[in-house]
Chains A and B, each alone.
Chain A
Amino acid sequence: MTLLTRTAGQARRTAFRPPARSLRSLRAALASALGGSASLLGAALILGLVWAAAALYQEDLPGPLATMGTFWRLVSDPFYDNGPNDKGIGFQLMASLVRVFKGFLLASLVAIPLGILLGVSPLFRRVFDPIVQVLRPVSPLAWFPIGLVALQSAPNAAIFVVFICSLWPTVINTAMGVSSIPESHKQVARVFQFDRWKYLTRIVLPHSLPYIVTGLRLSMGIAWLVIVAAEMLSGGTGIGFYVWDSWNALNLEQVLSAILLIGIVGLALDRLFAFAASRFSYTEVA
């Protein structure tokens, strides 16, 4: 399948751009980059001011400057290991990311086929919909004891929590994509005698792919949200554990630095999926 290839038209547009236009587009790119960094700077300024004001009001809360010092110390030496209670922030983030990916991957492997089944079969949908609707709003941490009992290991219980919580967006979006296949595509499949495999690979999957990627993107967001909470319970390693450990040590600069890092990594993960989504989109023509 040629889903991933760029269209010939796009390739041509970039290849044969006349110099005048390329200069103008360079200027436009520069301007937009400047504008982008200007707005980023503005946002940082507003955040910093609000933060500084809050720190003045509540003296226990470290201000932005004090936190920046700690932040810099943390990220400038991310990978050191001084025993189980003193690891670099890089190792903590890595541990969390590995758990997130394990749980997320397992969830995707279950959620995509389940979503397809739900989308294809109205009967299946009627049976499974109440189950999904009841389990979906359950708080991540409520699953933790179940994970502990089932897997007999705290780190694995954290993975289990990620797995359970990142199932739903993918299941629901996949089902929505599959059930929204236009009647005209189904008729094509019927008139031209598509077998099940061809129907799945040439119609169901390509049509649903943008929906699935959106579901995965939402699931990844939830997985990253959930891992911090789960690791506070599981302990040992991970950025969630690090936040809790820093709190117990009353080191709020570290807590705030970790919050910043969690946000930055989460943003990066989201951008990754947004990029993937843009590659899987297609133009639906009437």
Chain B
Amino acid sequence: MAMPYLALNGVSKSFKGGYTALAGVDLEIDRGEFVTLIGHSGCGKSTLLRMIAGLDGPTSGSVELEGRPISRPGADRGMVFQGHSLLPWLSVYANVYEAVDAVFPGRRAPEKQEKRERVERVLRVVGLWDHRDKKPGELSGGMRQRTAVARAFAVVPRVLLLDEPFGAIDALTRSGLQDELLSLWNFDQETETVVMVTHDIDEAVYLSDRVAVMTNGPRATIREVVTVPIPRPRERRSMLHHPEYASTREHLLDLLAAPGRAEVAEVPPYPLWPTPSPYSGD
């Protein structure tokens, strides 16, 4: 059997006070896959992502990248945080540049030039080059999140981790950001594998190759991994008419609506969900 690229082996996480958030999560992710973790709030999906990032360690089990256990953050993994976490005193350009400069510490002139070109390319792809001198405080929510995505891509990670990247963005802006994410992913040959956390079913179906549905905590685990059988490149509008689209979506809804171990999850009927976020974007 071939070694999996990114593997979660029996990952459990307990917190002080005896609360067990995750119990025995197994997941294997291939190189080049876009995998989404979906589940209700508090199911521990963000904790799983943080473990892959190396920001957090499992209580038992292991997280391995190419067979090597992950113990701390590394340049091979980039991350977009829930809430952009840009540095408010740095401009858009500097926020991206400082990350690139930290990951590639070369001090010689051609190396610096290369870094600057890299930052410019990424900022142009997300349409922020004209806004490069602005501070995060002067940007809309959508632009901030775009900067965060650009920063994550700019460090050329092999695995990109997205923690509810567009959760606080209004629905219209969100779909634009999703398209930009896909174009960045296609544009960047080095960044092959993406792991995303979301609670938005449509976002998961549109973006992912596979969707791992989690049960509710405590002692959350993966209920089922659903393959999205819609070929790429996907187009938002025509995808809605794809024969497999409705059934995949329906199946994910059923999985999320099924009673968890602790409680019965409540999922509003189809037209209400996902609801537009109350936060304002662009």
Residues of A within 8 A of B (CB): 1-3, 7-9, 184-185, 187-188, 190-195, 198, 202-203, 206-207, 282-286
Contact A190/B55 with A198-B98, A286-B83 known, Cβ cut-off 8 Å: yes
Interface window among B121-129, B133-141, B204-212, B237-245: B133-141
Residues A284 and B87 in contact, CB atoms below 8 Å apart: no
- Contacting residues, chain B, for A2 (C-beta < 8 A): 90-91, 94
Q: Which among A3, A191, A282 is the interface contact of B137 at CB below 8 angstroms?
A: A282
Within 8 Å of chain A (Cβ to Cβ): is B75? yes
Within 8 Å of chain A (Cβ to Cβ): is B85? yes
Contact A185/B138 with A193-B103, A198-B98, A202-B98 known, Cβ cut-off 8 Å: no
Within 8 Å of chain A (Cβ to Cβ): is B99? yes
- Contacting residues, chain A, for B101 (C-beta < 8 A): 198
- Contacting residues, chain A, for B146 (C-beta < 8 A): none
Residues A184 and B83 in contact, CB atoms below 8 Å apart: yes
Give A203 to B179 CA distance when docked, in angstroms. 31
Q: Can you list 30 residue pairs at the A/B interface with Cβ under 8 Å?
A: A1-B90, A2-B90, A3-B89, A7-B134, A8-B133, A9-B138, A184-B83, A184-B85, A185-B85, A185-B87, A187-B55, A187-B85, A188-B81, A188-B87, A190-B55, A190-B72, A192-B78, A194-B98, A198-B98, A198-B102, A202-B87, A202-B90, A202-B98, A203-B87, A206-B90, A283-B135, A283-B137, A284-B88, A284-B137, A285-B136
Give A68 to B81 CA distance when docked, in angstroms. 64
Residues B83 and A195 in contact, CB atoms below 8 Å apart: no
Closest 7 CB pairs of A and B: A283-B137, A184-B85, A206-B89, A192-B99, A282-B89, A191-B79, A194-B102
Within 8 Å of chain A (Cβ to Cβ): is B25? no
Residues B102 and A195 in contact, CB atoms below 8 Å apart: yes
- Contacting residues, chain B, for A194 (C-beta < 8 A): 98, 102
Contact with A along B61-82 (1 / 0, CB 8 A): 0000000000011110111010
* Distance from A157 Cβ to chain B, minimum over Cβ atoms (Å): 41
* Distance from B270 Cβ to chain A, minimum over Cβ atoms (Å): 31
- Contacting residues, chain A, for B73 (C-beta < 8 A): 190-191, 193
Give A260 to B120 CA distance when docked, in angstroms. 58
Q: Which among A202, A282, A286 is the interface contact of B135 at CB below 8 angstroms?
A: A282
Within 8 Å of chain A (Cβ to Cβ): is B229? no
Give A193 to B105 CA distance when docked, in angstroms. 10
Give A2 to B89 CA distance when docked, in angstroms. 8
Give A190 to B74 CA distance when docked, in angstroms. 8
A-B contact sample (16 more), CB < 8 A, given A3-B89, A194-B98: A2-B90, A7-B134, A187-B55, A190-B55, A191-B53, A192-B99, A194-B102, A195-B105, A198-B101, A198-B102, A202-B90, A206-B90, A207-B89, A282-B137, A285-B144, A286-B83
Within 8 Å of chain A (Cβ to Cβ): is B150? no
Give A207 to B86 CA distance when docked, in angstroms. 12
Within 8 Å of chain A (Cβ to Cβ): is B155? yes
Q: Which of chain B's residues has its CB closest to A190's CB?
A: B73
Residues B135 and A192 in contact, CB atoms below 8 Å apart: no
Give A177 to B83 CA distance when docked, in angstroms. 22
Q: Which of chain B's residues has its CB closest to A206's CB?
A: B89
- Contacting residues, chain A, for B137 (C-beta < 8 A): 282-285
- Contacting residues, chain B, for A282 (C-beta < 8 A): 88-89, 135, 137
- Contacting residues, chain B, for A7 (C-beta < 8 A): 134-135, 138
Residues A188 and B88 in contact, CB atoms below 8 Å apart: no
- Contacting residues, chain A, for B85 (C-beta < 8 A): 184-185, 187-188
Give A283 to B102 CA distance when docked, in angstroms. 24
* Distance from B86 Cβ to chain A, minimum over Cβ atoms (Å): 7
Give A64 to B78 CA distance when docked, in angstroms. 70
